[in-house]
Structure 1
Amino acid sequence: MAGPDRTTRNDRSRGATARRATAGGDRRPAAAARPDRRGAGGVAADGRVPSARGRSAGQPVPADGLVVGDVPRTARVAGVLLVLAGLAGLAALFPPYLVVGDRELTLGGGLGGVLVGLVVPVTSVAVGAGLAAGRVPRFGLAYAGVGGPLALGALLIEVYRGSSSTVRPGVEVLAGERVLTSSVETGPGWWLAVAALGLAVLAGTCAAAVWSRTVMEDRGALDPVRSGLAGAAVLLGVLTVLCLALPAADVPDRLVDDPATGLEVVVEQQGPQALLERPGLALLGGLLLAGAVVLGSVLSPSLRPRLAAVGGFLAVAVTVLAAGLSGLRDAVASDELEWTVPGAGLLVAGSAYALLTVLAWRLRRTGTG
């Protein structure tokens, strides 16, 4: 009986081994044949975004395949600085700005002054709040990075107005009024305006420092038209610089009768100084502002992803549009001033930049891939 029992046990063990081998063989081909669930750009087919370590983060992918990684702390700091800059800019509209001679000036004088003064601060608060919350970080970083050099040029011009404009007195248009800078005293509004521009410069510095460490990419819906956007932006940049070189609102010439001949002659009146005719810090600020407009126009179309290009265009658009609207406000508010062709050119250029911004944003619905 011992022999048959051993034979039966051996047969049973060999059968169990064969069944395990067969089951293992079935599992291996099934695992090898499992399809790859990741799509283009590392996006999973089930609509989830992989994290930087290759694990699913469980976030749905937008229509343009936008992938957003962890937002660095410095990027959020840049957003907070943008919000503070916008709030300071809003607060600067209402207290006394400068006292020139015996005239007290306010940036937000009248409804037109308030509306023009809201353009840049409100945009900064909205973009900065989104960046501080970690939403689409490269959009906010691009806005801050392009807007920083623009704010630096404006900051130097503002410092000149409040500190050294009396060294070489001249006619200026400040807060919608034509004044002679023989004596200038700064008020709370000027200090708030300087603080707003300084915070914008700091935000731009933070944005440039953290840009390469911020992960955000899409499927390239904007790539086919980037060259066209770049060409249009460069042309607008050149037009803007040419318009900035001359006052947006100027004093018109007067027609008087010449008593000797009885004919009407044109008498030129001293108007506001052009941007590049001012000395010292104002000249340096004007050169930086002009260079920043061209640099922002060249850089914005090349920023990735698409929303970063939108942020860069938006920074240039609100700056140029605010300058054009300021010239129109000055001409409407003062009987001594008239709107100039460069002022109208600034308004056209700002509107065109806004159109490029909208175009780059809308392409998310028409892009493929």
Structure 2
Amino acid sequence: MAGRESAARDDRTRDGARRTGATGAARRTGAAAAGARRTGARPAPDRRPARTPAAPPAPDDGLVVGHLPGGARTAGVLLVLAGLAGVAALSPTYLVVGGRELSLAGGLGGALVGLVVPLTAVAVGAGLAAGRVPRFGLAYAGVGGVLALGSLLIEVYRGSASTVRPGVEVLAGERVLTSSVETGAGWWLEVAGLALTVLAAVCAAAAWSRTVMEDRGALDPARGALAGAAVLLGVLTVLCLALPAADVPDRLVDDPSTGLEVVVEQQGPQALLERPGLALLGGLLLAGAVLLASVLAPSLRPRLAAVGGFLAVAVTVLAAGLGGLRDALASDELEWTVPGAGLLAAGLGYALLTVLAWRLRRTTAR
């Protein structure tokens, strides 16, 4: 009996020891975890070198270009052909006036001036035909075609009807009297180039609404200022076009009866709006087109379309201003006039607006 009680006590003692050992282990584990929390122990840091963060992408317009219709590519091809015709027109005989053969190039300076519009048309037309930034090319073609329509009528008048009312003209740097006029290959190529430009404008107008090209509107805050400056330049251009860019200076002669010097006016070239028939209509269309393009170009969307519209006006006005300067330098009988200088200044102003419309997106996008 006593042995059984002793064995039972031994079993209870072993069970208690086991429970005590388990409780102690649990306490030690909890204490270790609490100590780790108190000391703020963390995993060992990663010794590998940190990667340099990639530079953020440069701001852009968020330009989206959709499917290009066939009419837009046709306008681009017509622009290229018009530019090539304009380049080819520089070398051959332009007009034979009073037995004198005239060429549009008329020397190195005349050739450089004559290349401004054709080479720009070739570059823009090639990009449009290839499908790059289509509304830029369409805007250039549309505005350039409207401006070319007035010039086309003036060219037709020079080659066909200028002898009806003979007058003094300045053609290719030469002061001539249009008593008799014969057309040459250069005139036909020039007329073909202007006609192709007008056709390109028709195709551009038809394809404009079907051409998808949008951006984030980075130019929108500056459109009002650009429009105001363009309208002022348009008014200046029209006023300068109304008078010759190069004119014949007055002569001082001695009056034998009085012995005094007298100013004698010499007949100079006719002003743009003083010519009859097709020339008058062409001058009015050209003046109206400059004003219309000045108002329209800043409102074209997206931003690159406004750039294209400004570029078309800039090269046209700049070529006219440089042409007056070329005429004054090429002939001893002519001098550069204030309207001619104003025309050159207006062309440079339009070129500045073109650059601003192109660059302002970087300023506003930051």
For the 8 Å contact 1:61–1:67, the answer to whether it is kept is: no
Cα distance between partner residues in 1 of 2:364 and 2:135: 19
For the pair 1:129 / 2:126, whether they are aligned, the reply is: yes
Q: Which amino acid aligns with 2:262?
A: V
For the pair 1:206 / 2:203, whether they are aligned, the reply is: yes
Q: Which one of 312, 336, 339 corresponds to residue 336 of structure 2?
A: 339
1:39 alignment partner in structure 2: none
Deviation at 1:364, TM superposition (A): 2.2
1:11 alignment partner in structure 2: none
Cα distance between partner residues in 1 of 2:82 and 2:219: 30
2:96 alignment partner in structure 1: 99
Q: Where do 1:64-103 residues align within 5 Å?
A: 64-103=61-100
Q: Which runs of 5+ in 1 are unaligned?
A: 1-59
For the pair 1:109 / 2:109, whether they are aligned, the reply is: no
1:14 alignment partner in structure 2: none
Deviation at 1:350, TM superposition (A): 0.1
Cα distance between partner residues in 2 of 1:246 and 1:182: 22
Deviation at 1:83, TM superposition (A): 0.2
2:183 alignment partner in structure 1: 186
Q: Which one of 227, 239, 255 corresponds to residue 242 of structure 1?
A: 239
Q: Which runs of 5+ in 2 are unaligned?
A: 1-56
Alignment deviations for residues 189-234 of structure 1 (CA, whole Å, 9 cap, x no partner): 0000000000000000111111111100000010000000000000
For the 8 Å contact 2:59–2:362, the answer to whether it is kept is: no
For the pair 1:349 / 2:346, whether they are aligned, the reply is: yes
Cα distance between partner residues in 1 of 2:296 and 2:122: 23
Deviation at 1:64, TM superposition (A): 1.1
Q: Which amino acid aligns with 1:216?
A: M
Cα distance between partner residues in 2 of 1:134 and 1:232: 31
The Cα RMSD (Å) is: 1.2
Q: How many residues align?
A: 310
For the 8 Å contact 1:218–1:306, the answer to whether it is kept is: yes
Alignment deviations for residues 123-146 of structure 1 (CA, whole Å, 9 cap, x no partner): 000000000000000000000011
1:18 alignment partner in structure 2: none
For the 8 Å contact 2:60–2:365, the answer to whether it is kept is: no
Q: Matched residue of 1:259: which SS?
A: coil
For the 8 Å contact 1:248–1:339, the answer to whether it is kept is: yes
1:120 alignment partner in structure 2: 117
2:300 alignment partner in structure 1: 303
Moved more, 243-252 or 202-211: 202-211
For the 8 Å contact 1:162–1:186, the answer to whether it is kept is: yes
Q: Which amino acid aligns with 2:236?
A: L
Q: Which one of 249, 253, 258 corresponds to residue 252 of structure 1?
A: 249
For the 8 Å contact 2:314–2:347, the answer to whether it is kept is: yes
For the 8 Å contact 1:64–1:367, the answer to whether it is kept is: no
Q: TM-score, normalised by structure 1?
A: 0.83
Alignment deviations for residues 134-186 of structure 1 (CA, whole Å, 9 cap, x no partner): 00000000000111110000000000000000000000000110000000000
Q: Which one of 138, 142, 154 corresponds to residue 139 of structure 2?
A: 142
2:275 alignment partner in structure 1: 278
Runs of 4+ in structure 1 over 2 Å off:
none
Cα distance between partner residues in 2 of 1:341 and 1:368: 41
Q: TM-score, normalised by structure 2?
A: 0.84
Q: Which amino acid aligns with 1:208?
A: A
For the pair 1:326 / 2:342, whether they are aligned, the reply is: no
Identity %: 86
Q: Matched residue of 1:219: which SS?
A: coil
1:292 alignment partner in structure 2: 289
1:10 alignment partner in structure 2: none
1:9 alignment partner in structure 2: none
Cα distance between partner residues in 1 of 2:155 and 2:269: 15
Q: Matched residue of 2:318: which SS?
A: helix
1:177 alignment partner in structure 2: 174
2:363 alignment partner in structure 1: 366
Q: Matched residue of 2:365: which SS?
A: coil
CA change 1:280–1:61 in 2 (3 A) is farther
Q: Which amino acid aligns with 1:319?
A: T
Cα distance between partner residues in 1 of 2:197 and 2:306: 19
Q: Matched residue of 1:98: which SS?
A: strand
Deviation at 1:61, TM superposition (A): 11
For the 8 Å contact 2:88–2:186, the answer to whether it is kept is: yes
Q: Matched residue of 1:365: which SS?
A: helix
Cα distance between partner residues in 1 of 2:306 and 2:61: 15
Q: Where do 1:256-271 residues align within 5 Å?
A: 256-271=253-268
Q: Which amino acid aligns with 1:278?
A: R
Cα distance between partner residues in 2 of 1:80 and 1:253: 48
Q: Matched residue of 2:263: which SS?
A: strand
Cα distance between partner residues in 2 of 1:76 and 1:61: 30
Q: Matched residue of 1:367: which SS?
A: helix
For the pair 1:315 / 2:304, whether they are aligned, the reply is: no
Q: Which one of 183, 192, 197 corresponds to residue 194 of structure 2?
A: 197
Deviation at 1:62, TM superposition (A): 7.7
Q: Matched residue of 2:96: which SS?
A: strand
Deviation at 1:261, TM superposition (A): 1.1
